[in-house]
Chains A and B, each alone.
Chain A
């Protein structure tokens, strides 16, 4: 697992209070990890903070799984 993936996983575990084993690449925040719409907004904010990037709202809407987040951040974070 990449450094970025590890950091994403840590944030997801912390914010959603889920078991680390459940935070796999294909896990959907809402369907698989029990997030609601406000949780996903906060997750994106936490990614922005951790990776020092700005995630526009239209991009944020495409980040629905752990893998989506990792891919976006690998492409956009410094």
Chain B
């Protein structure tokens, strides 16, 4: 099987635009959460979110004009703009801008989203109701559907290989990277631009996730304290938005052109809980089998894992079930591994979460520093695993595991290692 390596990284997150901006703030322990002011939240149970900081592009702010023409932005939901920015950054970072027909055809795109253009669907529904069907824009559909993130990126960069999109709720980003890696392994492409994008910070999505009892509602006055995975006072996740995109490349292809290699994607596991539409299975077996499959595919032992980027959303049930599944995986080696939830800082980016967390995992290998789990004042359960509370920690990291679990009981795990 052909080997697959990561050669480019890009992201837009609530901590800023760009990988280095986000990463340095993450390591510093900053939170991206704030009270929502962009729309009316007075009647919502959850009035906080982790929003992308828009600005002129200086000081790590996100300036969409740098990545997509203003008249094109107007036609699409923000998840597509975030995807365009993250993909542009990743391709620049990889220094891969194919111009020959052959190179273009060898490069594909697989950027997914959990729910796509839910904000634009809401707006168009109101237009349909108030003004009738003749006022629905011809850009309504192509600006909202999920695979148009991949479509727009392919058009902007001339990428003519596989064009695909993943939709597996909060596992989307991890599945996209894992599936894209397989396309490279099988020879369908030599390079894949892969990841996830999401723009759910709007009234409809907040109301919907609040109705599922998934969101934090007890920290509306202290947003930075709301996302607190494993802490006894956690009460739900904090909605985030943004995108994460990586450039994956066949190993010999990357070596031949002298590309910088961040890490190798060595393991990928996928399972289903077959239990409930929103709740994780109480036995954590889906998560355990998923991680086990990824480690086995990597040809490694659980004891080889140095750092785990947890799914860890800060929901009362999910965190402990994942923790137990990880303990089961690690067995007697639990004391050696560390696991943190970066959702404590950036919130839950749903379909983009697995992609940005895979990038954080890669950076943990590069820099030998593990991002913290913020707000972990009093763990709700005891564990031998180091949950990296409050502050980042230095450690030589060679093998990482990144977990993502989604509504519908869909699970994805990635294992990456130093090359």
Interface of A with B (CB < 8 Å)? 15-17, 38, 41-42, 45, 48-49, 54
Contact = CB atoms under 8 A, between A and B. Distances in A.
A17 B134 contact: no
A16 B135 CA distance: 18
B139 A42 contact: yes
Contact of B138 (A16, A38, A48, A49): A38
B142 to A, nearest CB: 8
Contact of A17 (B71, B137, B138, B142): B71
A48 B134 contact: yes
Contacts of B139: 38, 42
Interface string B130-144: 000011011100100
B70 interface: yes
A54 B132 CA distance: 13
Contact of A16 (B71, B134, B142): B71
Contacts of B71: 15-17
A44 to B, nearest CB: 10
A47 B69 CA distance: 23
A49 B69 CA distance: 24
User: Considering residues B71, B135, B137, which has the most beta carbons from chain A within 10 angstroms of its beta carbon?
Assistant: B71
Contacts of A15: 71
Interface in B310-328: none
B248 to A, nearest CB: 32
B144 to A, nearest CB: 14
Nearest to B131: A49
A45 B70 contact: no
19 contacts: A15-B71, A16-B71, A17-B69, A17-B70, A17-B71, A38-B138, A38-B139, A38-B142, A41-B138, A42-B137, A42-B138, A42-B139, A45-B134, A45-B135, A45-B137, A45-B138, A48-B134, A49-B135, A54-B134
Contacts of B70: 17
A47 to B, nearest CB: 12
Contacts of A48: 134
A56 B70 CA distance: 29
B152 to A, nearest CB: 14
A48 B132 CA distance: 13
- A-B residue pairs, 8 tightest by C-beta: A17-B71, A38-B138, A41-B138, A42-B138, A42-B137, A17-B70, A38-B139, A17-B69
A31 B48 CA distance: 47
Nearest to B72: A17
Contacts of B135: 45, 49
A41 B140 CA distance: 12
Given A17-B71, A38-B138, A38-B139, 12 more contacts: A15-B71, A16-B71, A17-B69, A17-B70, A38-B142, A41-B138, A42-B137, A42-B138, A42-B139, A45-B134, A45-B135, A54-B134
Nearest to A55: B134
